[in-house]
Every structure is written in structure tokens, then in C-alpha cells.
Amino acid sequence: MSEKRTYHGPADFSMEVWLMNDEQGQVAKVTVGLGTFKFPTFRDIQQRLESVTADLEEKEINGFRLATKSEAFNECFGVPVAAPGGTEWDPVSPTVDALMAKVERFATTYASARNDESSGALLEGLQGLEDAKELYSELREELEALL
């Protein structure tokens, strides 16, 4: 059976990434595709950025590397500026990763409980459903707090 695909809208998504070459003093901005018709998630964006980093390290593309926070701000604004929030990039969102892990656990727990059809597994299935309800409540509270 084929996997169901999701299409969110008539759009092509990409991001531009600043690269620096210390040896030659060059700056490059590359466009990285994130997909068509499907809105990218934080995880999609992070994975593509990690892929660019891995490609740069693996292929040693003419001495280019990802720009630091200060370098990217300077290039973006065209003049030297102080990068807000310090010199390190902020994490994408550990909260989102934690929520996604709970969503996956919820889905797995719920699906396994629903699939228990034998009478011997009935109590185990009911406990699984209770666990799923508890996880759902936690997820709902965390999502409401984010909104």
C-alpha cells in the first residue's frame, strides 16, 4: 500500500544559508530546498541545515563553512552589528522536540492498545488507552502554554 502524502498549499519552500571562506575572504549565500507543497517543520529545517554542514565538512567545498551568528547578522544588514542574545545560535526549539517525542509515544501507545484484540490482552489494552489519555492531557496543556 502506498504512503499517504500531505499537501499543504501551492508553495515551494527554501531557506538561504550564509557560508564563509576564511582563506579567501569570500561570502556565499546558498539556497537550500525544503520541499514543495508541504510546510516544513522545525525538524525539517534543522535536518537540512545539518545536511549542509555535513556536506561542507565531508566534501571540503573550497574551504567554506557556515557563518557564525555575528557574521550572518553583519551580512544580513550590510554593516557590522552586535548579534542579539550573544554569539551562539539559539536552539531551534527543544520544547518542540520534547512535544514531538510525546506525540510519537502517544500514537504508539494508542495504536498498540487499539490493536490488542485478544481477550487476554484486554486489560493491557485498556491500560494502554489510559496511558494514551494521560499523555494526551499533558500534550494539550503544554501546547496551550505555548500558544
Return the sign of the alpha-carbon dihedral for residues 56, 62, 67, 68: positive
CB proximity list for 128: less than 8 A, separation 6 or greater: 109, 110, 112, 113, 116
Q: By the 8 A CB rule, do 11 and 68 touch?
A: no
pLDDT at site 19: 92
Annotated domain spans of the chain: 12-77, 94-146
Q: Distance of alpha carbon 42 from its chain centroid, rounded?
A: 3
99: cell is 512535544
Among 50-54, 60-64, 81-85, 129-133, the least confident range? 129-133
Distance CA 95, CA 2 (A): 32
Greater pLDDT, 19 or 44: 19
- pLDDT exceeds 70 at position 1: no
pLDDT digits (tens, 9 = 90+) for 74-121: 998 888 888 888 888 877 665 666 677 777 776 776 666 666 555 455
State the average pLDDT for the chain: 78
Instruction: Determine if the pTM surpasses 0.75.
Output: no
Q: Which whole number is the average pLDDT over 119-142? A: 65
127 — pLDDT class (breaks 50, 70, 90)? low
Q: Which whole number is the average pLDDT over 108-136? A: 62
Q: By the 8 A CB rule, do 30 and 17 touch?
A: yes
Q: By the 8 A CB rule, do 30 and 15 touch?
A: no
Torsions phi, psi of 71, nearest 5? -60, -45
